[in-house]
Amino acid sequence: MKNPWLAALVTLLVSVSGFCADDQPRTMIHVIVQLSGTDIPEGSFAGKPKTLWRATNSYCRSDEEPDPAQGIHLSVIMNEPDSWLLDLANNRAKHMVDPGPTFNCRLPIFAFSMELLKSKVGGLEYGHELEFFQKNGAKQVDGPKLDSFKANYYELALDGMVLELVERVDIHVPILIALLQGQKITQFRYLLWEDQIPFKADLFAKPVGVKMEEVK
C-alpha cells in the first residue's frame, strides 16, 4: 500500500463535475469500513477501520486511525469548494480550493493509485454503492445464506476487473464490497452504516489550531 498521506492527497485532488447546492443538507451518511485482502497483512495499519461521512456531494469527510509507524493521523475534510488534508498527529494541514466551475466532493472506495482512480472502478464511491452497481448493469448472482439477515449478491465486470457487492436486503445497504484483479482480492467490510442522521456542520468546518499550508 502507498503512504496513506499521499493516498489521501491523491483522492483529494481528483475532481469531478457535478451540481453543488447552496443550502446545507438536513441529513448525512455515516460509515465505518475495514479493509482486508491479498496484499493486506493481518494486523497492519491498512486494516484498521476508517470512518467516513457524506452529505450530498458538497460535504465529505474521511478519518483514519493514528499510524504510529509513520507518525501521522490523517483526516480529509471537503466542504466544497474548500478541502483540507489534516494531520492531527503534527497539527498541520494543507488547504486546497476547487477551481470549479462545478463542485462535487468525492469519496472513492478503491483509491489506491491514480490509475485506479481514473478507471471506471474509480467511479465507485461511498454513499453511492448500490446506485453505481445498478447504473453499470451489475448482475445478481448466488451467494451464501446468512443466519442473521437476507442478502443479495451482485457482480460487475469493468476494465478487466470484477467488483462484487453484498447488500443487506431489509435496509438496502452494502455490507461488503470487493475488487478482484486476477488472483488478487481487495475488500471493504462495512462495520457501520447510518443514513438520515442529522447533518453536523462542524464535521466539515475549517480545521483550527493547526499550521495551515495553502496549496495552489
Domains plus CATH for the chain? 4-17+24-193 (2.50.20.10)
Neighbours of 99 (CB within 10 A): 8
DSSP calls for 115-179: HHHHSGGGG-BTT-HHHHHHHTT-EEE--PPPSSS-EEEEEEEETTEEEEEEEETTTTEEEEEEE
Q: Residue 27 above 70 pLDDT? A: yes
User: Cα–Cα distances in Å, from 95 out to 19, 104, 140?
Assistant: 22, 16, 42
Percentage, residues of the chain above pLDDT 90 = 78
Distance CA 36, CA 166 (A): 15
Decide if 164 contacts 148 (C-beta within 8 A): no
Distance CA 125, CA 108 (A): 4
Instruction: Please write the tens of the pLDDT for every residue from 90-138.
Output: 999 999 998 877 788 999 999 888 888 889 999 999 999 999 999 999 9
101 Rama class: left (phi>0) / alpha (psi -120 to 50) / beta: alpha
Q: Give the 3-state secondary structure of residue 106.
A: coil
Decide if 108 contacts 117 (C-beta within 8 A): yes
Instruction: Please write the tens of the pLDDT for every residue from 179-189.
Output: 999 999 999 99
